[in-house]
Structures are given as C-alpha cells and as structure tokens.
C-alpha cells in the first residue's frame, strides 16, 4: 500500500465483528471479505444467536463498511444460485453438466443441483447420493481429469480443514464445522490436511479418519504419541518446509508410533 501501486490490490478477510472491521479501517484497506456464517450450526451452536439476531449483526458491519467507502467483497459463482432461484419461481427443470464441465463456461454442476434438490424437498427422491463420489473418482481414474481439490462435493479437500482449531471443533461436534454429514450422504469423512497449523487436534483427526477408527479405539489428541508426531511435523516446518505432510509420510510415522492401526487400514482397503 505504501508503494501506491494500482495492482496488486490489497484486500482483507474478517469476521462480521466490530473489532475486526476496526482493524480494516485503521489499516486504510479499501476492500474486505466479510465472513457471515449462515449455517444453523454456526448461528445456534457457535454464535449462540437466533437467525434474526445474526442477520442484524452482520448487516451492521456491512452497512458500516459501505458508509466508510470500503468495498465488501462479493462471490460471483452464481450458476447454482440462479438455477435454484429458477426452481423456486416455477421452473420445472434445470440443464446441468457433470462437474459443471461442458463446451462453455458457467455451467451448473449436476451434483450441486442434486444437493439443492435435497435441501428444498427435504429428501433425496430415491437417488443414491453416494454415486456423486463415484462420479468424481471416475473422472479422475478413468478420464484422467484432475478435479480441483476444493470443488464442492467431489474435490479431495472440499470437506477438509488445515486449522487445528477447526479440527478440534470437529472432534467435539462435527455438525459445527462440517457442511453436512458427508460420511452418511457421500461416503466421505471430513479430513484434515496436515501442515504447520494443524496441531495435535489435527493429527488426531487425521489418524481417526484415515484409519476409520471406531469410538472404542478413538485416538485422543493428548496421547503422548501424538505429541511426538507433532514434534516431528514442527521440526519439518522450522527447517523450511512449505508443502503439506503427505499421506505416505504419515503412514511411515504411524508404522513407528501406532502400528496397531495398520491392520485396520488393510482390512478397510482390502
């Protein structure tokens, strides 16, 4: 900002809180994303508000942003929103494409409209929703198409977190930090990507999910072996590493500290 360049433009990302917005004002930033959590789980369980009160609080921050001449950043990914709105106003059908891929850009993904249908109608209409996961696997394994990891419902990281605090929250109450029961609906448990910010909770969650441990042998983040793995990960990043810890690396670590889990993995994949 001190250089006075037109580009790249400096932006920010804040919670819809007065103290966060004040930081943006104090720094002189002209644009910011504003997080307005809209799921019932976040509003009721985390924020301890009614939806009416939440909207009221969010609106205050957005109005203050506009009044101060600060642009609240918007999301322009609208094909699904437009299609859903068309349904609500009487359209009988929507043209879609698997993963939104076709000869033009801006196509509505079939898998997204399946999820919209379920939310609007309150049931799956007899559809086997786990087929969405199989479709994604087919695109990658049979068509050699690399799905961007954050692609909704089919990307490898669409229900993943890197933050240790989120992993800790998932371990305590998955409903708050996972968009829906991805295990039940899509056959995909929430995952954590291990890096410098994962912490003990992230490591424990990775182990429990990767090895599909049941409640009887759930690994606690306070397990002393978790502390040893965390120490190794911390050393990696202190020595300059910038990439995430891979599954294969973790399997080698597990062989050293949690060898009893390996038979579970073999049974699950066998």
Question: Tens of pLDDT along 116-164?
Answer: 999 999 999 999 999 999 999 999 999 999 998 889 999 988 887 766 5
The total of structural domains in the chain comes to 3
Question: Tens of pLDDT along 76-115?
Answer: 768 898 899 999 999 999 999 999 887 666 689 999 999 9
Is residue 148 included in any domain, yes or no?
Answer: no
Is residue 3 included in any domain, yes or no?
Answer: no
Q: What is the pLDDT of residue 87?
A: 94
Is residue 7 included in any domain, yes or no?
Answer: no
Residue 87's domain comprises: 79-141
Same domain, 208 and 258: yes
Whole-number Cα distances in Å, 182 to 25, 47, 177, 190: 39, 23, 11, 7
Whole-number Cα distances in Å, 98 to 82, 102, 179, 262: 17, 8, 21, 36
Same domain, 167 and 183: yes
- How remote is the C-alpha of 168 from its chain's centroid? 14
- Residue 270 confidence (pLDDT) above 60: no
Same domain, 53 and 90: no
Residues 6+ apart with CB under 8 A from 101: 107, 145
Is residue 164 included in any domain, yes or no?
Answer: yes
Q: What is the mean pLDDT of residues 45-73?
A: 91
Residues 6+ apart with CB under 8 A from 88: 120
Same domain, 176 and 265: yes
Contact 215, 259 (CB under 8 A): no
Same domain, 164 and 250: yes
Same domain, 218 and 130: no
- Residue 268 confidence (pLDDT) above 60: no
Same domain, 263 and 179: yes
- Residue 269 confidence (pLDDT) above 50: no
Question: Tens of pLDDT along 29-38?
Answer: 999 999 888 7
More confident residue, 96 or 169: 96
State which of 72, 94, 114 marks the end of a domain: 72
DSSP state of 107: P
Cα dihedral: 237, 242, 246, 252 (round 10): -30
Q: How large a percentage of the chain has pLDDT more than 70?
A: 88
The rounded mean pLDDT for the chain is 84
Q: What is the pLDDT of residue 60?
A: 92
Is residue 90 included in any domain, yes or no?
Answer: yes
Only one residue has tokens 């202190």, namely 238
Same domain, 23 and 106: no
Q: What is the pLDDT of residue 162?
A: 64
Is residue 17 included in any domain, yes or no?
Answer: yes
Same domain, 122 and 209: no
Q: What is the mean pLDDT of residues 238-250?
A: 86
* Across 132-136, 165-169, 188-192, 214-218, least confident range: 214-218
- Rounded to a whole number of angstroms, the distance between the first and last alpha carbons of the chain is 56
Only one residue has tokens 């890197």, namely 162
């Amino acid at each position: 900002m001190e250089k006075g360049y037109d580009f790249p433009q400096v932006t920010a990302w804040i919670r819809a809180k007065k103290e966060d917005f004040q930081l943006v004002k104090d720094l002189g930033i002209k644009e910011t994303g504003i997080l307005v959590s809209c799921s019932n789980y976040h509003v009721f369980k985390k924020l301890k508000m009614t939806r009416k009160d939440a909207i009221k609080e969010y609106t205050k921050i957005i109005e203050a942003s506009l009044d101060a001449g600060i642009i609240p950043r918007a999301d322009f990914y609208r094909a699904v929103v437009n299609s859903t709105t068309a349904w609500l106003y009487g359209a009988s059908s929507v043209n879609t494409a698997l993963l939104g891929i076709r000869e033009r850009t801006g196509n509505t993904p079939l898998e997204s409209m399946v999820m919209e249908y379920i939310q609007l109608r309150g049931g799956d209409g007899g559809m086997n929703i786990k087929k969405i996961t199989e479709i994604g696997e087919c695109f990658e394994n049979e068509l050699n198409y690399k799905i961007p990891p954050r692609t909704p419902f089919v990307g490898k990281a669409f229900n993943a977190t890197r933050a240790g605090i989120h992993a800790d929250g998932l371990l305590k109450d998955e409903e708050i930090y996972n968009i829906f029961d991805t295990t039940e609906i899509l056959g995909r448990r929430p995952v954590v990507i291990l890096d410098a910010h994962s912490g003990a909770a992230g490591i424990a969650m990775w182990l429990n999910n990767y090895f599909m441990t049941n409640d009887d042998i759930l690994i606690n983040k306070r397990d002393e072996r978790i502390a040893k793995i965390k120490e190794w990960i911390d050393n990696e990043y202190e020595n300059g590493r910038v990439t995430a810890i891979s599954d294969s690396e973790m399997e080698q670590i597990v062989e050293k500290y949690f060898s009893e889990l390996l038979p579970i993995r073999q049974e699950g994949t066998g």
